[in-house]
Amino acid sequence: MSRLADEVIADVDRRGKTGPIICASGLSPSGPVHLGNFRELITPHLVADEIRRRGRACEHILSWDDYDRFRRVPAGVDPSWEQHIGKPLTAVPAPPGSPHPNWAEHFKAPLRQAMAELGIVVREISQTQMYTSGAYTDQILEAVGARKAIDNILDRYRTKQADADANAGSESSSDADSDSAAPAGSASDAGDTAATEPGTGARRRPGAKAKGGKQNQKQAKLSDEERQAAELAAEGSGAADEDDGSSSASLGYFPYKPYCTVCGKDFTTVTSYDDVTTELSYSCRNGHSETVLLKDFRSGKLVWKVDWPMRWRYEGVDFEPSGVDHQSPGSSYVVGGQIVTEIFGGSQPLGPMYAFVGITGMAKMSSSRGNVPIPLDALQVMEGPVLRWMYARRRPNQSFTIAFDAEIFRVHDEFDALRRKVSDGSAGAAEAAAYSRAVRTAERELPLTPRPLPYRMLASVLDITTGDDAQTQRILSQLDPADPITDLDQARPRLDRAAAWVQRFMPADSRTHVRTEPDTELLTGLDERQRRGLQLLLAGLSEHWSLEGLTSLLYGVPKQLLDLPADTKPTPELKAAQREFFVLLYRLLVGTDTGPRLPTLLLAVGERRVRQLLGG
């Protein structure tokens, strides 16, 4: 993030811009803002935060594309919502049972909650409010007046894209990222219900395709996790055809799309326009037609590839990243760079591409099924600084995976190790910078668990105690008798996050079920060496009843059985003896060959019950 901040500051200074630096995010509340599209928000946040740490004025704006059209009814929502397809997202009722006033607000709410927990402060901009208030009227008239010039810019890329698709062996020109839009009400509109995917947060690239052409060739080189994330990115960033300007024999290219004032939908075609009076006529697929003055009309919007660069100029944006689907020839970022300079007289912001974010431990993400993991899902099982760290420690163009399976243990182990290194001064510069960005912003410190006990151990304890606070307190207080946990709040919020993980994501076959009665058959069939091992363990229990003490005792018993000194280094023979001893303990305690780490398991079961189950 330091390098990106350097580049933004240098670019702003080179242009001689005055006022605060503007970092921008753009999200469509057409569906859940998932953890992949969250990069659209957190990357500008981290860059803006770095700039503010250096004493420069910087503002992070979040532009909600809530004036976008409702494209498709997701699975699980009443099919009657099909009647709203083509309306702005803010004019669509929220999903059934939602307390929010409309579809857009329903999907904004959980992200706002996550932002508050993560320390992300933005100035929100509603595109519904901007368009319907007339804030963009001058820019709309400017774009419409320059429609031939815009069409010429788009034409440069139509040829490039057609050549690229031909070289890639695309199935048909209709799949291409074409800017030659069909008239509203044509097949591209009529097929919208069946053929498109709903957006899930990231700003949409009209005409992006979910399959075929070069995109699949690139995906062939990806890992399975990256391919899955790429598919979701295409789906979530609007792998849905939205025309880049209506076209008709009489009018030609037109970069503005009215919403019908009768049915509220955008199944419209502009049929005439007078540049002098701004008189505009349109017809609606549902049979309505109207003539309005565009300078006074407040029911419509610029098409995407004109809308985005217009906003760069309007807001004075200096930095805004985008996904891989925005960076190909003819895509919105590339074309927008030409439009913002040649039409609106502005500058294209620095816009690095951000890479995929994969998910492990959940069913394949799909926005159409509504089970896409969002930042709030991650924050239920990990602390805010840990989630921030996962994004902050990597460059935006590096892909990574967020774990909801047992890999979450390793992630927390790495974070805890870094926390210790920062504390004792042994962390490298890059490590320390990533940690600093994770645990604090330019404005405030983020809450961290006072006593960060290993996540794996907390999960094991909570699994065995089924979340009983009294039992959990008993076990945690015995981990380190010299410095006991005296209050569960010392282990929070991590304790609560681990409890949520156990409840939501721990596999059923990984759950621990402690025996209620001793396995008498197994105990009676023990050989002499096994009996002696249990006797040695039981004899040392009281003296070693702590996490460290039990670890030493458990690894030491097999050494005694082999008549080896306590400081003997591991050998194949010793490892085999230890493994055999541990399997015996698991079978006697939980009836399986594996389970939680034995020191944690013994503490969780309790000394009295351990003695009972081990025949002592």
Per-residue pLDDT at 219: 39
Average pLDDT, the chain: 86
- Where residue 233 falls among pLDDT bands split at 50, 70, 90? very low
Task: Identify the weakest region by mean pLDDT among 148-157, 206-215, 526-535.
Answer: 206-215
Q: How confident is the model at residue 361 (pLDDT cuts 50, 70, 90)?
A: confident
pLDDT of residue 163: 61
> Going by C-beta distance under 8 Å and a sequence separation of 6 or more, which residues neighbour residue 403?
360, 361, 410, 411
AA letter at 187: A
Query: What average pLDDT does this structure show over 590-599?
Result: 94
In tens, the pLDDT along 382-395 reads 999 999 999 999 99
Question: Phi-psi bin for 117: left (phi > 0), alpha (psi -120 to 50), beta?
Answer: alpha
267, 271, 276, 277: which is closest to 290 by C-alpha? 271
Scanning the structure block, which residue is given the tokens 């400081």? 567
Write the CB contacts of 477 (distance below 8 Å, at least 6 apart in sequence).
484, 485, 486
Q: Which residue, chain included where needed, has tokens 């998910």?
A: 359
> Which pTM does this prediction carry?
0.83
- pLDDT confidence of 211, banded at 50, 70, 90? very low
Per-position DSSP letters for 185-234, written without gaps between them: TSHHHHTHHHH-----EEPP-TT--SSSHHHHHHHTTS-HHHHHHHHHHH
**Collapsing DSSP states into helix, strand and coil, what is residue 69?**
strand
* Contact yes or no for 96/22 (Cβ under 8 A): no
Residue with tokens 């085999």: 576
Q: Is the pLDDT of residue 164 over 80?
A: no
Q: Distance (Å, rounded) from C-alpha 614 to C-alpha 616? A: 6
CATH class of 457-613: mainly alpha
Tell me what pLDDT residue 147 has: 96
Structure tokens at 75: 């699975």
Per-residue DSSP letter, 477: H
| Residue 274 in this model has a pLDDT that exceeds 60 | yes
Residue 32: name the closest of 370, 358, 268, 258 by CA.
Answer: 370
Segment 565-577 mean pLDDT:
94
pLDDT band at 367 (very low <50, low <70, confident <90, very high): very low
Q: How far is CA 216 from CA 167, 209, 222, 227, 598, in A?
A: 13, 10, 10, 9, 47
- Range 455-465 average pLDDT: 94
* Type and span of the H or E element at 290: strand 289-293
Higher pLDDT pick, 116 / 236: 116
pLDDT at 205 over 70: no
When pLDDT is averaged across residues 443-453 and rounded to a whole number, the result is 95
* pLDDT at 479 exceeding the cut of 90: no
Q: Which residues contact residue 15 at a Cβ distance below 8 angstroms, ignoring those fewer than 6 apart?
A: 347
How crowded is residue 168: how many other Cβ atoms within 10 Å of its Cβ? 15
198 pLDDT more than 80: no
| Under 8 Å between Cβ of 27 and 37 | yes
pLDDT digits (tens, 9 = 90+) for 517-528: 999 999 999 999
Tell me, letter by letter, the H, E, C secondary structure of 471-527: HHHHHHHCCCCCCCCCCHHHHCCHHHHHHHHHHHCCCHHHCCCCCCCCCHHHHHCCC
For 300-332, the pLDDT digits (tens) are 999 999 999 999 999 999 999 988 766 666 788
- Per-residue pLDDT, 161: 57
| Tokens standing for residue 421 | 């290194």
pLDDT of residue 162: 58
Radius of gyration of the chain (CA): 30
- Per-domain boundaries in the chain: 457-613
Residue 372 — very low, low, confident or very high, per pLDDT cuts 50/70/90? confident
Residue 499's pLDDT band (boundaries 50, 70, 90)? very high
Closest alpha carbon to 590 in 556, 600, 576, 532: 600
SS (H, E, C) 562-604: CCCCCCCCCCHHHHHHHHHHHHHHHHHHHCCCCCCCHHHHHHH
The token duo for 546 is 């702590």
- Given a contact cutoff of 8 angstroms between Cβ atoms, the answer to whether 18 and 57 are in contact is no
211 token code pair: 């399959």
Q: According to the model, what pLDDT value does residue 166 have?
A: 58
Distance (Å, whole) CA 282 – CA 259:
10
